[in-house]
Structure 1
Amino acid sequence: MNKVKLLSDGFFGLDKGFLVYRKTSYHGVLYMAALKPLLITTDKEKILVDTGIGELPDRIKKFYRLDREMKLERSIKEEGLKPEDISVVINTHLHLDHCGNNVLFKNAKFYVQRDEVRYAHFPDRFQKNTYIRELFDTVDYIGIKGDHEITGGVKVITTPGHSPAHQSVVVDTEDEKYIYCGDASPLR
């Protein structure tokens, strides 16, 4: 049966005003966002939903306050796994804080909405700095269109808004149904 566990890739800080498109009182307020990839263990697969922020290029790193005392590699190791044990990665979207460690998972199949890949290559002016090509262009994606079952009890559903082709992940376990929203609902 499917099991879920939140992992950690640390925190990153950004101006809270960055999260909204109009001028508000949030501008100038530091928001520390938790980077929480989800590990799904099935009978046959080890699935990771989002891979955190990883090592940002210097030209980008200067804009964020990073606290990566707990890196994803260590979080995975604490679960008794190695990056090569991950067989599937699902990116909710391709912003830098969700695909930064994709390169670590050499044996994984990567799933993302086809339109998200297209948009990541040609973003609008509001999101152009959140898509970092050297982070998301490191792997080959299986581009999906719309809601899609990945494996038994694990499926993606489209939840556009935060990005044009954002997807969330629905996981059925023996006792519960979980929905990992990515950034469809990021704030507490």
Structure 2
Amino acid sequence: MAEDSVQRFVIGDVEVLRIVEWQGPFVPAPDLVPGVAPELWKEYEEQLAPDHWEPGSDRAVAAMQTWVLRSGGRTVLVDTGVGRGRERPGNPLFHRREGDLPGRLERAGVLPEDVDVVVNTHIHADHVGWNTRDAGGEWVPTFPGARYLLPAADDAHFGPDGGYGGGVRVDDRLVYEDSVAPVHRAGLAERWEREHRIDEHLTLEAAPGHTPGSSVLRVASRGERAVFVGDLLHNPVQVLHPECSSCFCLDPRQAARSRRRVLERAADQQELVIPAHFSGAGAVEVRRVGDRFSLGRWAA
């Protein structure tokens, strides 16, 4: 999928738009999912290359993207990417990046004032960046009429009460101060825990491990289902090896438990699985094979 194109499909009465800001080779594959032996990437080459693994460089392929859901007359954004002009010294890919999510949204027919709800599946730099924009040296909400739904556990962990993620990464303080705190000050933030129903079709559920408040968004409409899994999955190799968490997971064991639970339900209920960073088609069906899982059909 080209970065300047828009993928559209429907889940019952819910329209879905995929807005890609960037996609391409990311980090070395063995570094991204350390539990997967290097030779297994080669074994799965037919399923992973070229959309999810680049054999020549041995790098995982990923995308940074936002999903737009039109449900019940409202417009919902799922994650907001890296943002523009952010100080991210711990990550060269995100540092002072000059992205243009608002421009891409506008070309897809979505203006900032059209957005009713912003879902941050978790508070990481590449999921909250366009929560805000620079207005003359001050960070203000990009979507002024929206409710911003924040997992309470992440807001506590990455906010000042949690020492900005315990001070482990300098970027965590910067991310919170420029992309989350301004939303609180504007009175647009809504913290939730365990489960939160957005409307008759959309429900947020906790799926901790990647971060303390990592979450998934379930969609159910007219017998069709999907689940936006955020960073529970960074690469399809984790469907084949759900016990293997990414290098970015704060609690890899808990993330693996959440991943297996979500994949089991997706396979049993025929939910389309939509991760935050899958390149290629971006969404895939998952099937059971004994106590394991396989990749089914990719989204059209």
Place the TM-score, normalised by the shorter chain, in its bin: 0.7 to 0.9
CA separation in 1, counterparts of 2:21 and 2:89? 17
1:152 to 1:91, Cα distance in 2 relative to 1, 3 A: same
Pairs aligned (count): 185
Question: Which residue type is aligned with residue 54 of structure 1?
Answer: G
Conserved 8 A contact 1:169-1:181: yes
CA separation in 2, counterparts of 1:112 and 1:65? 21
Conserved 8 A contact 2:79-2:118: yes
List aligned pairs for 1:68-107, cutoff 5 A.
71-103=100-132, 104-107=142-145
Gaps of 5+ in 1: none
Aligned to 1:117: 155
Which range is displaced more, 95-104 or 76-85? Answer: 76-85
Post-superposition shift, 1:5?
A: 1.9
Aligned to 2:218: 170
The TM-score with structure 1 as length reference comes to 0.82
Determine whether 1:57 maps to 2:105.
Answer: no
List aligned pairs for 1:28-67, cutoff 5 A.
31-60=60-89, 63-64=92-93
Choose between structure 1 and 2: higher helix proportion.
2
Which range is displaced more, 5-14 or 160-169? Answer: 5-14
CA separation in 1, counterparts of 2:115 and 2:126? 19
Conserved 8 A contact 1:112-1:142: yes
The Cα RMSD (Å) is 3.1
1:61 to 1:13, Cα distance in 2 relative to 1, 3 A: farther
Determine whether 1:156 maps to 2:204.
Answer: yes
Provide the identity percentage. 23
Which range is displaced more, 174-183 or 6-15? Answer: 6-15
Post-superposition Cα deviations, 1:108-165, rounded to whole Å, max 9, x if no partner, equal 1010211110111231465553561212222122110111111111010111111111
SS in 1 for 2:148: strand
The TM-score with structure 2 as length reference comes to 0.54
Gaps of 5+ in 2: 1-12, 39-56, 133-141, 237-300
Point out the structure with max Rg over C-alpha: 2
Q: Which has the higher contact order (CA 8 A, sep 6+)?
A: 1
SS in 1 for 2:155: helix
Question: Which residue type is aligned with residue 113 of structure 1?
Answer: P
Aligned to 2:230: 182
